[in-house]
């Protein structure tokens, strides 16, 4: 199995019940911040998206220990293949410690 990954979430995936429904299990999560990003309305769909903003800090949650299979399920949920979001690597802050994570952001 590949190394588990972490995912920074800031919208519908902040709901633990939804994540459990999608993945079939509870996922450990911790409050996190993403400097240099903000939440914004998308011109393409009714869901929020993350966009770069050097003056902002996006508040959210870090979902920890996701498998490649988990990420594939979440990619489907976020319509990555259709271009609704793209999954990119970022660094988040958890208790002022920098951690690498995935992020669903504007395409």
Catalytic residue among 59, 78, 91, 97: 78
Instruction: Show the tokens assigned to 70.
Output: 């988990």
78 catalytic residue (yes or no) = yes
Is 98 buried (19+), middle (13-18) or exposed (0-12) by CB count in 10 A?
Answer: exposed
- CA angle 51/93/81 to nearest 5° reads 40
Residues 65 and 7 sit within 8 Å (Cβ to Cβ): no
- Residues annotated as catalytic are 78
């Amino acid at each position: 199995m590949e190394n588990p990954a972490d995912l920074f979430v800031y919208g519908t995936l902040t709901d633990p019940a939804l994540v459990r429904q999608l993945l079939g299990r509870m996922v450990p999560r911790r409050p996190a911040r993403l400097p240099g990003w903000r939440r914004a309305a998308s011109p393409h769909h009714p869901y929020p998206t993350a966009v770069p903003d050097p003056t902002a800090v996006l508040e959210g949650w870090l979902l920890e220990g996701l498998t490649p299979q988990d990420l594939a399920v979440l990619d489907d949920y976020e319509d990555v293949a259709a271009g609704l979001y793209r999954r990119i690597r970022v660094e988040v802050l958890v208790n002022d410690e920098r951690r690498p994570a995935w992020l669903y952001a504007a395409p």
